[in-house]
Chains A and B, each alone.
Chain A
Amino acid sequence: AQSVSQHNHHVILSEAASLELGCNYSYGGTVNLFWYVQYPGQHLQLLLKYFSGDPLVKGIKGFEAEFIKSKFSFNLRKPSVQWSDTAEYFCAVNTPYNNNDMRFGAGTRLTVKP
């Protein structure tokens, strides 16, 4: 089965800094990739997703992610973070053959200092 690893457990940035959160998956076939965000006290919600086509996908709130097939990566980026981006970010993957089995990474907690 597919698995996901997120490199950073906790990232601390100042406002206006650029953000890149790493995500790597292990699966040799076709995958669907997702980033979810959990703001403090709220439920998880979708930031962006990739199924096919342009490997650079844009999501809500200025986030984007790039799928690099050769590196099995789907890193999340934002050029300039805001205090309100403080949250936990989860990378997730499923496959078209078993698309109900969504596997999540351990999550990266982002703290943005004002």
Chain B
Amino acid sequence: NAGVTQTPKFRVLKTGQSMTLLCAQDMNHEYMYWYRQDPGMGLRLIHYSVGEGTTAKGEVPDGYNVSRLKKQNFLLGLESAAPSQTSVYFCASSPWTGGVTGELFFGEGSRLTVL
């Protein structure tokens, strides 16, 4: 039981390049999330999904796109990377618990540097 797995763990990009971060969970959770973690700012929600085929914007969605084609996968895309997107990205999932979101299960993080 791997839980939440993120790939890649590290990536260096040049400004303007594109990339996709993959998140996979094997716990059959309904909800999935992408956060970014920056020093002094904690975690900020980028996008989330409440089920296969659905996505919604979080607190800081600009410059990112997401897709949830399969229940177990949640992809985060950067179409044209900018230095401001240098961050550590965390994926998380949570089960549906009767309408109250409970514990988030996090991946190990992906460190992205944009030069």
Interface residues of A (CB under 8 A from B): 1, 4, 6, 9, 32, 36, 42-46, 49, 51, 90, 92, 94, 96, 99-107
Contact = CB atoms under 8 A, between A and B. Distances in A.
A99 B41 contact: no
B106 A9 contact: no
A101 B108 contact: no
A99 B101 contact: yes
Q: Main SS of the interface on chain A?
A: strand
Interface in B99-115: 99-104, 106-109
A86 B108 CA distance: 18
B40 A32 contact: no
B31 interface: yes
Interface string B19-42: 000000000000101010000111
B100 A51 contact: yes
B42 A94 contact: no
Given A101-B45, A107-B42, A46 B108 contact: no
